[in-house]
């Protein structure tokens, strides 16, 4: 084998390793971005489904609807805060939820991991007790939503 051919083969091997490395890194990043987008979509779906359910039933006095919602990945529970009347705050609630209520942000749904991570306004809701937290079972929460004419009452579905 000629010395020049040996150098060209080494160059081809090095170039192949570099190209394969770039492809692997790009593929890994693409998969990670896809997973992040899927998590964002599941959170938006949860938020929109809850808002639509509250909005749809609020004006329908006396009707009751069972709503099973898929919670965003990574969250273990959801807390609802009374917004139809002024809530009485228990002492053992998450400090982030307490601060949000006391500063009148208007947010009444909080997604919890170990602490509250995400929150939004779901419409005029009433809960008993004034801060109702529901743990997810298989990443799902089972809710009972009852229309009261001008707001909705949310509770745990016990069926």
Tokens 């492809």 correspond to: 23
pLDDT digits (tens, 9 = 90+) for 47-90: 999 999 999 998 888 899 999 999 888 888 999 998 877 777 77
Average pLDDT of span 102-122:
87
The closest alpha carbon to 49, from 70, 31, 21, 26, belongs to 70
Q: Where are the alpha helices (DSSP H) in 59-121?
A: 95-102
Copy the structure tokens of residue 25.
């890194």
Distance in angstroms (rounded) separating the CA atoms of residues 74 and 140:
12
Distance separating alpha carbons of residues 46 and 138, to the nearest angstrom: 15
- What are the tens digits of pLDDT across the range 8-60? 788 899 999 999 999 999 999 999 999 999 888 988 999 999 999 999 998 88
Closest CA to 98 of 122, 119, 77: 119
């Amino acid at each position: 084998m000629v010395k020049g051919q040996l150098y060209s083969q080494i160059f081809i091997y090095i170039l192949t390793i570099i190209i394969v490395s770039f492809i692997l890194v790009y593929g890994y990043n693409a998969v990670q971005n896809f997973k992040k987008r899927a998590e964002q979509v599941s959170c938006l779906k949860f938020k929109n489904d809850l808002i639509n359910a509250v909005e749809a039933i609020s004006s329908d006095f006396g009707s009751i609807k069972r709503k099973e919602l898929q919670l965003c990945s990574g969250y273990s529970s959801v807390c609802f805060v009374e917004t139809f009347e002024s809530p009485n705050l228990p002492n053992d609630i998450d400090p982030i939820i307490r601060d949000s209520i006391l500063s009148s942000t208007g947010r009444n749904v909080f997604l919890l991991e170990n602490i509250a991570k995400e929150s939004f306004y779901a419409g005029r809701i009433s809960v008993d007790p004034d801060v109702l937290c529901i743990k997810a079972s298989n990443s799902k929460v089972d809710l009972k939503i009852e229309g009261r004419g001008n707001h909705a009452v949310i509770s745990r579905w016990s069926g």
